[in-house]
Amino acid sequence: MIEIHAITIDAADPYEIASWWSKATGLPLGEGDKPGDEEVMLRTERFPFLLFIRVPEGKSGKNRVHLDVNGTNGRTRDEEVERLIGLGATVHADLRQPDGSGWVTMLDPEGNEFCVCRSQAEREAQA
Give pLDDT < 50 ranges for the chain.
Answer: none
Distance, CA of 102 to CA of 97 (rounded, Å): 5
Residue 60 lies in a domain: no
Q: Assess whether 76 and 44 both reside in one domain.
A: no
Q: Is 18 exposed, middle or buried (0-12, 13-18, 19+ CB in 10 A)?
A: buried
Whole-prediction pTM value? 0.89
Q: Assess whether 32 and 81 both reside in one domain.
A: no
Residue 111 lies in a domain: yes
Q: Assess whether 47 and 71 both reside in one domain.
A: no
Give the CATH number for residue 110.
3.30.720
Q: Assess whether 37 and 80 both reside in one domain.
A: no
- Which pLDDT score is estimated for 48? 86
Distance, CA of 81 to CA of 28 (rounded, Å): 21
Residue 1 lies in a domain: no
Query: What's the number of domains the chain is made of?
Result: 2
Q: How does pLDDT run across 88-121, given as a tens digit for each residue? A: 999 999 999 998 899 999 999 999 999 999 988 8
Owning domain of residue 14:
6-54
Q: Assess whether 89 and 121 both reside in one domain.
A: yes
- Which pLDDT score is estimated for 30? 87
Q: Assess whether 30 and 77 both reside in one domain.
A: no
